Amino acid sequence: MIPVQGVEGQRIAVLGLGRSGLATAAALKAGGAEPLLWDDSPEARIRAEAQGWICHDLGRSDVWEEVAALIVSPGIPHLYPQPNRHVARAMEAGIPVDNDIGLFFRSLATGAWDHFDQPPRVVAVTGSNGKSTTTALIHHILTAAGRPAQMAGNIGRGVLDLDPPADGDVVVLELSSYQTDLARALTPDVSVFTNLSPDHLDRHGGMGGYFAAKRRLFAEGGPDRAVIGVDEPEGVYLANQTAMGRGDDRLIRIASGRKLGDWGWSVFARKGFLSEWRKGRQVASVDLREIAGLPGAHNHQNACAAWGACRALGLAPREIEAGLRSFAGLPHRSQLIAEAGGVRYVNDSKATNVDSAAKALQAFSGIRWIAGGLGKEGGISALKPHLGAVRKVYLIGHSARDFALELGDLPHEICETMDRAVAAAMAEAAPGETVLLAPAAASFDQYPNFEKRGEHFTELVQAGLALRD
């Protein structure tokens, strides 16, 4: 645990009692504060009380007396589409509102660092797609190279639940736009921006607000080195705002599918090969095509981002390449769960929006595509250019019929449930084809989260293959 600094003797309200909220309460208490816990969900309060916490109803005026700050969990809106009523009350009263990320950055460094040979460093990864894979990949490369590292944030543990970093440690954080938007302190050593596509727009008041939330990691954070994907206009803009000129190697530009020009430092993937260029010459090259844990162009972009971050930390190309080759991938993200009878079965349940589904559809051939769930604004019409490899679509969930209307003449079947979709796809798949779960929709109509959806798909595939044996 990382005790929060500068809060001794203060009453601090904690709103939201999920993983990060409870870790925040414990870290505040360890720092000498009096945390006042609350969640509008009775179930969350019951779980907190079972762990020994006392909940304080933030709807009561007396609870707010002498409260020094309100710490908000990521899922709770503070501005759009409208502020949570407790957040609004704090802001109207002039009470500072922050989150666990802000507390982490202001509390990480301690007096012990004065005696370290190598101060700990923080790598923070943001973007629309690929954040989790890039974060996990950086962490894997570091540990495979013998560098002590911890991973947290939007993946794994809450940031304040980490162990205080020791001499030479690296902390790798995945940060969502919800987390970067509200944090009052953002001071990573290396910041990574993977890409940008529409997502969470209601929470940020549109695309501009969404990008602005992610941009804070660079504009407010002032990292020593920035690794920025320049495949979208926003990335090009961010790179331009970050660098002092073409040769500024404090910025590492990354791209997928094209060669980058004569910049100070760049890493790009083209035709399955990763290349690193610095000061006008190539310094490293890796064939990514046979790395099973990183299939498809979107994962090649993730590899470029991880390569750039690890090079910024001082790792040698051979160390990074070894880490890439031993990376097994993350569950629910283009995860190969089985291969039998010449058919591959891939779980990409994390493909909850059109852009991430498009990347999955471009990574495989002969696709039996399982899609659907709780569709997002705009449906799946934007996927039409990426359906060339799809043999048939098996539609599930709330948006199955809406999605069917957008598929035109492409063969499809409304299955409604995962059970029916998997059974149909497995029965019809031929050698050389891929049964792919890439829903292009949220999971909340039928599952509590995308992980449970992916686990159900995996269980059904494994059960179906067992019956064949």
Answer yes or no: is 434 a known binding residue.
no
Of 136, 187, 157, 200, the residue nearest 376 (C-alpha): 200
Answer yes or no: is 130 a known binding residue.
yes
Of 309, 296, 267, the residue nearest 136 (C-alpha): 309
Helix (DSSP H) and strand (DSSP E) numbers for the chain: 15, 19
Answer yes or no: is 129 a known binding residue.
yes
Report yes or no: 175 and 155 within 8 Å, Cβ to Cβ.
Answer: no
d(CA 258, CA 236): 14
**Long-range contacts of range 80-86, CB-CB < 8 Å, 24 or more positions apart?**
80/202, 80/203, 80/204, 80/205, 80/209, 81/202, 81/203, 81/205, 84/15, 85/59, 86/13, 86/15, 86/38, 86/58, 86/59
Of 380, 458, 403, 387, the residue nearest 426 (C-alpha): 458
**Beta partners for residue 229, in sequence order:** 254
Answer yes or no: is 128 a known binding residue.
yes
Q: What are phi and psi for residue 97, nearest 5 degrees?
A: -110, 130
List, as one string, the DSSP characters of 423-442.
Answer: HHHHHH--TT-EEEE--SSB
Answer yes or no: is 399 a known binding residue.
no
Answer yes or no: is 127 a known binding residue.
yes
Q: Which amino acid is at 130?
A: G
Answer yes or no: is 378 a known binding residue.
no
d(CA 275, CA 225): 19
d(CA 203, CA 188): 24
Of 411, 389, 427, the residue nearest 438 (C-alpha): 389
Annotated binding site: 127-133
Annotated binding site for ATP: 127-133
